[in-house]
Amino acid sequence: MRFSHKSLATMSLAVLCSAAAISVPAAEVKLKAASFLPERAVFAKYFYRWVNSVNKDCAGDVKISVVGPAAIKSLEQWRALKDGVIDLHYGPPNYYKGAMVEGDITILANNSPAKQRANGAWAILNELHNKKLNAQYLTHLSDGVKFYLYTNKPAVNKRFDGFRLRSVPIYDGFFKTLGAQPLRMAPPALYTALERGAVDGYGWPLWGVGDFGWDKHTKYRHGPGFFSAVVNIIANLDKWKGLSDSQRQCLTDKSVWLESEFPNWRAAEDAAQNKVQDDAKIEYVDMGADFADKAHNLYWDIMTKANPEMTAKMKPLLLD
């Protein structure tokens, strides 16, 4: 078969165009993220550190911009993620407990997110996020940052009978077993409540007590610490599926990197936060090992009632 010079030129151009189309990488994707706290907050700064690292190491593939609660209210961010209004969300899983009751089971873990990725717990959590939240579960931050019970007056025989404590659902039951009355209150309102004696204390992690000025009205921190102040990083599933292999791989690699880096960041932050409390003369009170055990056992029971099959699978993987 013979071809004219014009036909050969046309065929050559088509081949060159096809080759170019195959070799050109996907354009850098711009992802919009929402953080439940502003960058200045101690529980947000390590997420922003991760975002900066992603933007540096994934340049050409992924670029993330972040808005805070001033742009999208904290409790509405998970729904914005589910609906595709935002592409990434950094927030506590108990915020979307109404849509995914099992989401905060990792607060009970004894091991790290790296171990959970290796032993199969990550895969179970990711499947649940896929089905219930239209989300890809990347990883979480703040594992190992424990909660404590802070008060402005001493416990009596390790009891808090009659104490009014600012609380959240994850430890309402625990506080009630200690004799206290749990109260709902936004963090910004707690300072005034402590100042006026409207509350006797509050539950909160080790980090951030000084950020709100609560250290000025806090005298005791009761432990050992219970639960972990886990905050998840999740992606809209539709957006995730639309990314190139290279883009997904870079975000995955940076999630794994975060899991390896965070323990060192946590140790440094723990030391800084302990110093804040020491300088404020907040006295640590050791309530004995069963203090934290009681909190954990109560919440394992709640998880079991909510989803017995999933809890039975996850418990050995989180306590491994």
Residues 214 and 101 in one domain: no
Residue 320 has pLDDT above 60, yes or no: yes
- β-pairing, 181-183 vs 164-166, is parallel
Q: What are phi and psi of 89, to 5 degrees?
A: -140, 135
Omega before 188 within 30 of 0, i.e. cis = no
Would you state the pLDDT for residue 11? 47
Confirm if 151 and 135 have CB atoms less than 8 A apart.
no
Per-residue pLDDT of 124-173, as tens digits, reads: 999 999 999 999 999 999 999 999 999 999 999 999 999 999 999 899 99
Residues 210 and 312 in one domain: yes
In a domain, 2, yes or no: no
Residues 83 and 173 in one domain: no
Residues 101 and 134 in one domain: yes
Mean of pLDDT values over 239-251? 98
Per-residue pLDDT of 54-87, as tens digits, reads: 999 999 999 999 999 999 999 999 999 999 999 9
In a domain, 14, yes or no: no
CA angle 69, 57, 61 (to 5 degrees): 80
Residues 201 and 110 in one domain: no
Residues 259 and 307 in one domain: no
Residues 213 and 169 in one domain: yes
Domain of residue 97: give its range: 27-143+229-269
What six digits make up the tokens of 215? Answer: 């250290």
What is the Cα–Cα distance from 136 to 236, expressed in whole angstroms?
A: 6
What six digits make up the tokens of 312? Answer: 């039975």
CATH number of the structural domain spanning residue 221:
3.40.190.170
Residues 102 and 61 in one domain: yes
Indicate if the alpha-carbon torsion angle 302, 303, 309, 311 is positive or negative.
Answer: negative
Looking at every residue in the chain, the average pLDDT score rounds to 92
